[in-house]
Amino acid sequence: MRAFLTRPHARWRIALEMLVLGFVLAIVCGALVIYAGAYDVAATRHHWPLTEWVLDTARIRSIKTHAAGITAPPGLDDQAKILMGTEHFADHCAICHGAPGVPKGDIAHGLYPQPPDLAVTSKRYTDTELFWIVKHGIKMTGMPGWADHGDDELWATVAFLKKLPGMTPEEYGKLVMQVMSHGGQQHPQDRATIGQGHEHDGTAPPSAVQPGSPKDHSMSGMGQGTPAKRD
Ligand code: HEC
């Protein structure tokens, strides 16, 4: 009777010991790989499909969870908000993500992961998720957080992103021209630099866009202000 009771118990103990040993071995091997410099951090070497799946899933779940407590303000369809968002997008985002009729800048080409075309992928997110992404950025990618910009400006950028899917280069150009004709009054701090190049951040001004001429050279240069200066 006694032997009958202790044997399964001993088996559990061995199984537990093996598990702990396996865990310790995994940590030791992981530490060895890291200290030996065997993990390749090169942006030119892409992730394994499994790593990609883990990172994608972690990103999507994290964004959903962290955006859950946010409430979107009313009026995201207001033209004034969309114009304010257009200005912010043209100044800070088009360089990496491109815009209708505007290719990504050189700086975006070597990034891994690549900045996606937001006209396609922003549809996958709710307004509050977009706000969270733009405010906080995405760790270990080139996506910066813009928490130092006011929430008002970031919600305006969300208002613009909602209009982006299906937007033609002509429509984008028109929006940019409207921003120009308002003299960038949505952001007094930016007004002085509109049309003269944003020296403080190196991005090209929205004035580089000519509405109705998507193939116009000046338009395609819009997202490329920084690399052009670096060359
Ligand atoms: C320096 C380059 C860079 C700039 C500038 C930049 N982004 Fe990004 N952005 C990225 C990269 C890279 C990713 C992809 C991250 C990933 O795959 O996890 C990204 C992802 C995103 C996503 C998530 C899209 C998706 O498919 O999951 C949104 C939304 C976004 N950016 C919006 C913006 C907005 C709005 C701005 C401007 C305020 C901006 N980004 C500026 C590089 C940039």
**pTM (2 decimals)?**
0.79
Mean pLDDT of 112-116: 96
Q: What is the pLDDT of residue 44?
A: 94
23 and 117 belong to one structural domain = no
**231 located within any domain:** no
**For ligand 1, is residue 93 a contact (CB within 6 Å)?**
yes
Residue 45 within a domain: no
Does one domain contain both 28 and 58?
Answer: no
Count of domains for the chain:
2
| Structure letter (DSSP) for residue 74 | S
Check pLDDT > 50 for residue 164. Answer: yes
129 and 22 within one domain: no
Q: Closest ligand 1 atom to the C-alpha of 114?
A: 12
| Structural domain includes residue 226 | no
Are 172 and 102 in contact by the 8 Å Cβ rule? The answer is: yes
**CB 207 within 8 Å of CB 194:** yes
Is 224 a domain residue? no
* Largest pairwise CA distance in the chain: 92
> What is the 27 CA–ligand 1 centroid distance (Å)?
33
Judge whether residue 121 has pLDDT over 70. Answer: yes
Please state the length of the chain. Answer: 231
Percent of the chain scored above 70 by pLDDT? 77
* pLDDT interval class at 29 (50, 70, 90): very high
d(C-alpha 19, C-alpha 166), whole Å: 53
Residue 119: which CATH number?
1.10.760.10
For residues 18 and 121, membership in a common domain is answered with no
Residue 161 alpha carbon, nearest atom of ligand 1? 35
- Say yes or no: CB of residue 141 within 6 Å of ligand 1: yes
The reply to whether ligand 1 has any atom less than 6 angstroms from the CB of 62 is: no
CB of 144 shorter than 6 A to ligand 1: yes
* 172-216 per-position pLDDT tens digit: 999 999 999 877 655 544 443 333 334 344 444 444 444 444 334
**Residue 77 located in a structural domain:** yes
Asked if 82 and 15 sit in the same domain, the reply is no
* Nearest alpha carbon, ligand 1 atom 9: 143
- Domain membership of residue 142 (yes or no) is yes
Ligand 1 pocket mutation, candidates 96, 131, 149, 230, criterion most atoms within 8 A of CB: 96
Domain of 192, in residue numbers: 53-219
The per-residue pLDDT for range 49-81, each reduced to its tens digit, is 999 999 999 999 999 999 999 999 999 999 999
